Amino acid sequence: MSEPTPQKSEEAALTEGAENSENNQDTSRWTNAFREITTGNALLSLLAIVLAILIGGVLIALTDSDVQDAAGYFFARPGDLFAAIGSAVGGAYLALFQGSVYDFRRDDFLSAIKPLTQTLVFATPLIAAGLGVAIAFRVGLFNIGGRGQIIVGAAFAGYASFAWDLPIVLHVIVAVIMGIIGGALWGAIAGLLKARTGAHEVIVTIMLNYVAYYLISFLLRTDLLKNPGSNNPKTPPAADTAVLPPIFGDGFKLHWGFVVVIGATVLAWWLINRSSLGFKFRAVGLNPHAARVAGIKVERLYVYVMLIAGGYAGLAASTEVLGTTTSGFTSGVDAGIGFDAITVALLGRSTPWGTFAAGLLFGAFKAGGFTMQASQGIPIDIVLVVQSLIVLFIAAPPLVRAVFRLPQPGARAKKVVG
């Protein structure tokens, strides 16, 4: 805590205030988390990504059958092993790149650049839901409820998209807003319980994920959400008037949801960094006790922030069911986005534009992962491994510094108990 900048010392003072009270585990836990998230730098993030990709490569090499064969006669022809490793790992990551950024095997630029637009399609809900987690994070709340909020948001947006009959433009706007409302309401449950009873939001949001899942599973069996013409637990497709149109024409899947999400990121940036509500959010996140003494109604802010966080998750749901997959959805509509959003927000260090960038990266992983699975036969689960390793390494800068033999900074502020 020897930073000379005034902002840092202010934070330190707030932190110390929390440490002086006894009942402060919650506070110091979060300030500690924020310290870890904020004291790293871009280089460490990059190195963490490199390290995670290297480990992913090791896994791919270990499980590749050609590599295993070549290892069998390693002492006879050692070169074969390295060639096999190179072709397995290189092929995998090449496919990842071709599937997510630029496919140079194509003849014309338009079809070569298509994977990049695909990345943006996958990134759209990840960014929106990631912002939901990030904003809650700034208040010191850990919103693991992205999955539930997305499910409820999808139910709302989906219902508006096929059950209501509205004019063109208006319909899609209403449907997107309905999704936001659905997610916001589901998020607000956790906020309300936190504010009124002190129930820990981590537990409540995890449990609400399952409640939402079973709720939509039930609704998908009823006429409310089920396609009347079918026995499958799937909704009818969205009406044409409620679909987010493609940006670059029908040849590309990229839809206006991505533009909406850019706008949502700007809004999140303004909200956190420029608005008075955002100032209060950050104050509560740094030290709820101090914020309360300063006259901020902390409980009320918990409700507000969970409304907003849920709303962002709901926006993610809207872009999914109104833009990416408009042919109706099942109870698996979340498709892991809710949990990916946590890693996106952590990687983005809970800042709006950091989350945006992290969402792009994970979108690329997702788009490329499918190509990798299809062309190289490497299960897409490797993407989960790499993503979670990135977050683990970013959260533990000393580990990354040790691996890359970087100097450890001398005095790390880590006095927590005492």
Partner 1 sequence: MTFTKISEGLGRSGSKIDRRSWKLPIAFAFVSLISGVLFIGFAEDAPTGFDLSTGTDLFQLPEVSLPALATGVVVTILTALIAVGSAFMISQDRAVPKWIPIIGAVFALVGFLTWAAADETLRVPELFAGALVLAVPLVFGALGGVISERVGVVNIAIEAQLLAGAFVSAVVGTITASPFAGLFAAAVAGMLVSFLLSVFAIKYLVNQIIVGVVINVLVSGLTGFLYSQWLVASPEKLNNPEGFSEVPIPFLSGIPIIGPVLFKQTLIVYLLYIIVAAVAFAMYRTRWGLRLRAVGEHPKAADTVGINVTRTRFWNVALAGAIAGLGGAFITLSQTGQFGKDVTAGAGFIALAAVIFGRWDPIKATLAALLFGFASNLQNALSVVGSPVPSEFMLMLPYVVTIIAVAGLVGKSRPPAASGTPYIKG
Q: Which residues bind partner 1 (CB under 8 A)?
A: 17, 20-26, 28-30, 32-33, 36, 59, 63, 142, 144, 193, 196-200, 202-204, 206-208, 210-211, 214-215, 217-218, 221, 289, 292-293, 298-299, 339, 342-343, 346, 378-379, 381-385, 387-389, 391-392, 395-396, 398-399, 414-418
d(CA 401, CA 409): 10
**Signed CA dihedral, 54, 56, 60, 62: sign only:** positive
Q: How far is the CB of 105 from partner 1 (least distance, A)?
A: 26
Tokens of 38: 């904020």
Q: Which is nearer to partner 1, 199 or 267 (CB)?
A: 199
Secondary structure letter of residue 240 according to DSSP: G
Find the shortest distance in angstroms from Cβ 248 to partner 1.
32
Structure tokens at 179: 């999704």
Distance of closest approach, residue 382 Cβ to partner 1, in angstroms: 5
Least separation in angstroms between CB 79 and partner 1: 24
Q: CA 334, CA 149: separation in Å to the nearest integer?
A: 9
Residue 399: CB minimum distance to partner 1, A: 6
Dihedral sign (CA 76, 81, 84, 86): negative
User: Are 130 and 358 spatial neighbours (Cβ–Cβ below 8 Å)?
Assistant: yes
Question: Whose Cβ is closer to partner 1: residue 206's or residue 267's?
Answer: 206
Give the shortest CB-357-to-partner 1 separation in angstroms: 19
Separation between Cα atoms, residue 342 and residue 355, nearest integer Å: 10
Which residues partner with 255 through β-bridges? 246
Between 7 and 222, name the residue whose CB sits nearer to partner 1.
222
Nearer to partner 1 (CB atom), residue 326 or residue 371: 371
- Residue 183 neighbours by CB distance under 10 Å: 37
What torsion do the CA atoms of 59, 62, 65, 71 make, to the nearest 10 degrees?
160
Smallest distance, Å, CB 230 to partner 1?
A: 19
Give yes or no for a contact between 314 and 150, defined as CB atoms under 8 angstroms apart: yes
Backbone torsions φ then ψ of 246, nearest 5 degrees: -70, 150
